[in-house]
Structure 1
Amino acid sequence: MVSAVFLVAVGMVALAVGRYQVPLSHVVQILAAQVFPVPAGSDATEESVVLLVRLPRVLLGLLVGAGLSIGGAALQAIFRNPLVSPEIIGVSAGASFGGALAILLGLGSLLLVGGAFAFGLVALVLLFLITSGRGGTPLLMIVLGGVVTGSFFSALVSLVTYIADPNTTLPAIVFWLLGSVASATYAKVLVALIPVLLGAVVLLLLRWRINVLSLGDEDAAALGLRPGRLRWVVLVAVALIVAGAVAVSGAVSWVGLVIPHLARMWVGPDHRVLLPVTFLLGGAYIIAIDTIARTATAGEIPLGVLTALVGAPVFFLLLRRNRDRIWDSA
């Protein structure tokens, strides 16, 4: 409940703050007028700014942040390590290549999502091929496998940008890869809504099974679950979420690592509570970061730059805190 209230509060502030300031009371009146038969109580300019410019951006930021966050929390559970995220295991790089390739070929938004999803899944398959073997999958192997997979798809993204037309296609690819929701529209919200919500609903329905899976394959099998099949269901759901997020916002990094840790510090490791809270906090986080991105300077800071500036130091602190356990498991 507290996280939901926090999300609503951050969203309302984001709708009010910007180059053109809209009083918070006017924002409430404008939104209420869309649901209830009451007057908006504001001029046409304020309504246009709130409803046509900022609201799609807030909704898109909500979907991107919430999806990446809950996906990161689920991956950390099934890999049984809190340092795993979609970026570290190469899923985002694979999805980025699929999206960049779709832009290069001039495909539409639907095929952009399909391409991002397909290559995100390919990245997962490559990771499991690299890390498969006896004795489980220690953290060091996951990180190394993710580096290999991510580097491979990053090289393919570089190849796509190299052969792209510098006057037409290349600017679109570069802008998309930097990460941003500046071009948010209700159509893009719809494009992201289906894959992100579908994947998130699957994870939320499986959250008690994810609890069991985080105990290990042997314990999960003893309790009647099929770990291999369940893990793939979770992985496909995460790949779908990452595809939807990457398709509309580009590669927004570190969200799936930072937010699950913040939520875990708040509500504990029980995924029945952790996943919903992570979902809500992730949405609030990206909305807040995007608000800073569009108001901090005269220009607009790419969203992926700000999330990386926050996430990289957090990852460094986590590595130092878990240094002994990391090397013991290698």
Structure 2
Amino acid sequence: MQQQPKAQHAGPIAIGALAALLVAVILVAILTGRYPVMPGDIFAVVVAKLSGGESGVAPTIETVIWNVRLPRVCAGILVGASLAAAGAVYQGLFRNPLVSPDILGVSTGASFGAAVGIFLSLSVLAIQGLAFAGGLAAVAIVYAIGSIVRERDPILVLVLAGVAIGALLGACVSLLKVLADPYNQLPAITFWLLGSLASVNRADLGSILPAVLVALLPMVLLRWRMNLMTLDDEEARALGVETRWIRIVIVAAATLMTAAAVSISGIIGWIGLLVPHVARMFVGPDFSRLLPTSMLIGAAYMVGVDTLARSIAAIEVPLGILTAAIGAPFFLYLLLTTRRGWQ
């Protein structure tokens, strides 16, 4: 009973410290790379682009900052924050600390959509659109199955349906990989499934930002109801919460956010599973503090991992490999050292 006030007091401090950490990680990410960049160059280029003036920076450095590193860092912020927020929502909604954003099949649906686009040799924009639509369609099918099977626990039905649909779509992706051209299409599908921000540009950011903001709005507006959704449905309804409609709205928001992020980055695991656990260590389970904390940690982690991916070797390491290599041991550490319940 004494830990809750302490968590409430530490919440604003932790959020402020994490925001400062995110700014530091962003600065390091922009400065890191084969082309040396000074902190003053970043400020000069941003001011010049926003004001329409001259930056006084070498054209090559200006191009690297404005067209390459800044869009990539912004994409890392959006993707990391989105996956972490969706993970926090799903773990609270399904009352399970092992739930991640792909529990309802959104990631495998996006994978299938992108694989179809690559198999048909479509444009990058079309591939991203198919990935986005595939993620939404997969969750829509899962929810349709859940609405048909009403006499059982709705959460259990959704999880089991998500596992089944995810397995089916995973098999479809494997079939496309078998049928794909082994010299062009197969490497492209494999690289997309491993996750990367290497080809992200400002147009990609503009395409997913509205979806992320729209999805974030119900999470913020319903933040206090999310605390009640961690209770059993009967208890939540006794407190005046309409669990069925809130679950539909929140799942739709988290799915929209995840599908938007995955459509430009590919499949990046462990962020939605691991980050909410770390956030709870800082601020506790209260969703009004857990959501911004998870988003800050997820954004900083994603930007940091992406910086590591493009700087530790001569070739870029896929993000999915690094997030798994870092996230799995850390998750096991949390599992072995945490003595109290996840809530």
Same fold (TM > 0.5): yes
How far does residue 153 in structure 1 lie from its aligned partner after superposition? 2.0
Secondary structure at the aligned position of 1:295 is classed as coil
What's the CA shift for 1:77? Answer: 0.6
Distance 1:64 1:324, change over 3 A: closer
Given that 1:289 and 1:307 are in contact with CA atoms closer than 8 Å, whether structure 2 keeps it comes out as: yes
1:290 to 296, 299, 306: 306
Counterpart for residue 4 of structure 2: none
Q: Which residue of 1 aligns with 2:109?
A: 94
Residue 231 of structure 1 is aligned with which of 226, 234, 247? 247
Q: Given residue 60 of structure 1, which amino acid in structure 2 is its aligned partner?
A: A
Q: Does 1:244 align with 2:255?
A: no
Partner of 1:116: 134
Deviation of 1:268 (Å): 1.3
Partner of residue 324, structure 2: 308
Which range moves more in the overlay, 276-285 or 143-152? 143-152
CA distance in 2, matches of 1:302, 1:126: 34
The structural deviation recorded for 1:225 is 1.6
Moved more, 170-179 or 226-235: 170-179
Contact 1:254–1:311 (CA under 8 A) maintained in structure 2:
yes
Show CA shifts across 1:154-211 (max 9, x none): 1111112222233443332222111000011111112222222221222122211111
Distance 1:82 1:288, change over 3 A: same
Output aligned runs, 1:3-152, within 5 Å: 3-35=18-50, 40-105=55-120, 106=122, 108-109=126-127, 111-122=129-140, 124-125=142-143, 128=146, 134=152, 147-152=163-168
In the alignment, what sits opposite 1:220?
A: 236
The residue that corresponds to 1:198 in the other structure is 214
Code of the residue aligned with 1:75 in structure 2: it is Y
* Residues 266-275 or 166-175, more deviating: 166-175
Contact 2:87–2:272 (CA under 8 A) maintained in structure 1 = yes
Identity percentage over the alignment?
44
1:154 aligns with one of 170, 173, 197:
170
CA contact (8 A) 2:105 2:135 kept: no
Q: Distance in 1 between matches of 2:240 and 2:114?
A: 39
Instruction: Indicate how the Cα distance of structure 1 residues 184 and 262 shifts in structure 2: closer, same or farther if over 3 A, else same.
Output: same
1:177 maps onto 2:193 in alignment: yes
Mark the CA change 1:169 to 1:85 in structure 2 (over 3 Å): closer, same or farther: same
TM-score, with normalisation over the residues of structure 1?
A: 0.87
TM-score, scaled to structure 2 = 0.84
| Inter-partner Cα distance in structure 1 for 2:116 and 2:296 | 31
Structure 2: distance between partners of 1:309 and 1:18: 22
Please tell me whether the aligned partners of residues 142 and 162 of structure 2 are also in contact (alpha carbons under 8 angstroms). no
Cα 1:249/1:114, change in 2 over 3 Å: closer
Q: Distance in 2 between matches of 1:300 and 1:36?
A: 34
